Amino acid sequence: MQDLNILIVGAGVAGLTCANLLKKQGATPKIVEKEKAETFNTSGYMLGLLPLGGRVLTELDLSEQYFERSIEMANYEIHTQNGELNKAYSMDFINKDYGSYRGISRTELINLLIGNLDKKTVSFGVTVSQIVTTENGSSVTFSNGQTDQFDLVIIADGIHSPTRSLLWSKDEYEYYDTNWGGWVGWLDNQYLNAYKEYWGASSFMGLYPVKDKVGIFLGGPNDLVQEQGLKDFATKIKKEILPEFAILHQSLDALAATVNPFYWEFHDCRAKEWQKNNVILLGDAACGFLPTAGVGASMAMDSASALVDELSRTDKEHMEYGLKLYIKRQKKRVEKAQEDSRNLGKLMFVKSNLFAKIRDYAIRFYSIKQLAKNISKTIEGN
Ligand SMILES: Cc1cc2nc3c(=O)[nH]c(=O)nc-3n(C[C@H](O)[C@H](O)[C@H](O)COP(=O)(O)OP(=O)(O)OC[C@H]3O[C@@H](n4cnc5c(N)ncnc54)[C@H](O)[C@@H]3O)c2cc1C
């Protein structure tokens, strides 16, 4: 590993996890990150990390800090649009049998991962403008005009991956769009230890706690919510919520008062192939996720771990073979979790009142393992 010249594109969850694992193996990868140092890590949204992702932090000896910066989730609750509880699932089976299921802000997770790397590892404000790849390595030209040779290029620049499009043509990856989306914000100084979702007809709201605050999401069909705008849409939803659910009213007020809240369009992406010679896609760049199952970051970390594990048993000459073994091990597993997220989306994102009523009734008979069948199998190692 020490002899390998490795480039990672993107200092997000996948890229930084991968860099940390490579460092542990004695490699010194170079990371380029589009954001400048001043703006890096400012998109502070919330993440639920399954043990699938969290256990990678154990491998990196970061679990103590991870636990300090996050909180354990005890329950997942599905409510009706007016705030009443429809179905509650205990997360005990995950927390007890597989490891802690925790809420952490993306900012904290990124700080934790980047703080464990040498300062010089990441070059900020730099992107890749050209990759020429051969069987023996890749020649990479950066946005600052510099060109370098690499034995391995790991593309981890997220769901819209501009670097992927340098080598992958448009028909080699496809987006899946729910045509729903919404705004993300925070309710400060709050403690909750349950994910709470409010499934309506043409509306969806979620409360996702992290340490000391709660992430809020409010959305619906893109055309409807964009037309109404955040303030009017939040006011409309508030009217439907019973007065006793104070946290919902507070959350909607906090979200409506947020300056330039992040608008998240719910689509995902899947690349048909993950590899071109010695260039590999990782994380959302390979297979991105809808938020519905809260599994994208966990899968990105799990994939980084599988990739570095396979690389640790290969050398420069057999790099492509190592990458093929990684894909064989990971691709189906990731795509199955993506299928779960899509299927959950079909249940959550409904427009008709009648269908929403039938769904709300039917959901009472579903177990969590039925709702996320493939993810449960993945956690269990099947
Ligand atoms: C609001 C929200 C809530 C979410 N909640 C959850 C959750 O609860 N649980 C969960 O598991 N997942 C969740 N996800 C999904 C999760 O964040 C992603 O699946 C995960 O971050 C993927 O990691 P990644 O490293 O592939 O991409 P990212 O973390 O998006 O990182 C990509 C990085 O590449 C950089 N970059 C972009 N373009 C370039 C370029 N051209 N050159 C260099 N660098 C570039 C970006 O600036 C960024 O730093 C959520 C996502 C959002 C938006």
Q: What is the DSSP string of 71-137?
A: EE--EEEEEETTS-EEEEEE-HHHHHHT---EEEEHHHHHHHHHTTS-GGGEEET--EEEEEEETTE
Atom of ligand 1 nearest to the CA of 284: 26
Give the length of the chain: 382
Q: pLDDT digits over 97-141, tens only?
A: 999 999 999 999 999 999 999 989 999 999 999 999 988 899 999
Q: How many CB atoms lie within 10 A of CB 175?
A: 12
As to burial, measured by CB atoms within 10 angstroms (0-12 exposed, 13-18 middle, 19+ buried), residue 267 is middle
Query: Among candidates 268, 300, 293, which has minimal Cα distance to 54?
Result: 300
Alpha-carbon distance 260 to 221, whole Å? 20
Q: Are 262 and 184 a contacting pair, CB within 8 Å?
A: yes
Write down the pLDDT at residue 215: 96
DSSP secondary structure string for all residues of 169-206: -GGGEEEEEEEEEEEEEEEES----EEEEEE-SS-EEE
- CB-based contacts of 375-379 (< 8 A; 24+ apart in sequence): 375/50, 375/293, 375/295, 375/336, 375/337, 375/340, 377/336, 378/52, 378/333, 378/336, 378/337, 379/50, 379/51, 379/52, 379/94, 379/98
Calculate how far, in angstroms, residue 82's C-alpha sits from the geometric centre of ligand 1: 32
Phi–psi pair at 75, nearest 5 degrees: -140, 160
Alpha-carbon distance 16 to 3, whole Å? 20
213 pLDDT tier (thresholds 50, 70, 90): very high
**Is any atom of ligand 1 closer than 6 Å to the C-beta of 62?**
no
Residue appearing with tokens 């991962």: 113
What is the average per-residue pLDDT within 86-107? 94
Write down the pLDDT at residue 100: 96
Atom of ligand 1 nearest to the CA of 15: 25
Atom of ligand 1 nearest to the CA of 282: 26
pLDDT at 380 over 90: no
Up-side HSE of residue 361: CA atoms within 13 Å toward CB? Answer: 5
Q: pLDDT digits over 49-80, tens only?
A: 999 999 999 999 999 999 999 999 999 999 99
Up-side HSE of residue 217: CA atoms within 13 Å toward CB? Answer: 28
β-sheet bridge partners, residue 123: 32
Q: Are 40 and 24 a contacting pair, CB within 8 Å?
A: no
Architecture of the structural domain at 6-69+102-174+268-346? 3-Layer(bba) Sandwich (3.50)
β-sheet bridge partners, residue 87: 78
Q: Edge to edge, what strands does the sheet with 71-72 contain?
A: 46-49, 102-105, 71-72
Write down the pLDDT at residue 130: 98
Write down the pLDDT at residue 234: 96
Q: Are 72 and 163 a contacting pair, CB within 8 Å?
A: no
**Is any atom of ligand 1 closer than 6 Å to the C-beta of 114?**
no
Residues with Cβ within 8 Å of 317's Cβ and at least 6 positions away in sequence, in order, are none
Write down the pLDDT at residue 139: 97
**Is any atom of ligand 1 closer than 6 Å to the C-beta of 76?**
no
pLDDT at 379 over 80: no
Calculate how far, in angstroms, residue 52's C-alpha sits from the geometric centre of ligand 1: 17
Residue spans of the domains in the chain: they are 6-69+102-174+268-346
**Is any atom of ligand 1 closer than 6 Å to the C-beta of 50?**
no
Residue appearing with tokens 């590899």: 275
Which region among 155-159, 164-168, 304-308, 352-356 has the lowest average model confidence (pLDDT)?
Answer: 352-356
As to burial, measured by CB atoms within 10 angstroms (0-12 exposed, 13-18 middle, 19+ buried), residue 184 is buried
How far does the chain reach from its first CA to its final CA, in angstroms? Answer: 29
Atom of ligand 1 nearest to the CA of 16: 25
Write down the pLDDT at residue 372: 74
Calculate how far, in angstroms, residue 158's C-alpha sits from the geometric centre of ligand 1: 5
**Is any atom of ligand 1 closer than 6 Å to the C-beta of 251?**
no
Alpha-carbon distance 277 to 283, whole Å? 18
By percentage, how much of the chain surpasses pLDDT 70?
Answer: 99
Helix, strand, coil percentages, rounded to 5, for the chain: 40, 30, 30
pLDDT at 44 over 80: no
Alpha-carbon distance 229 to 131, whole Å? 41
Phi–psi pair at 174, nearest 5 degrees: -135, 145
Write down the pLDDT at residue 83: 95
Query: H helices of 241-367, where?
Result: 246-256, 296-311, 319-348, 353-362
Tokens of 152: 């391995």
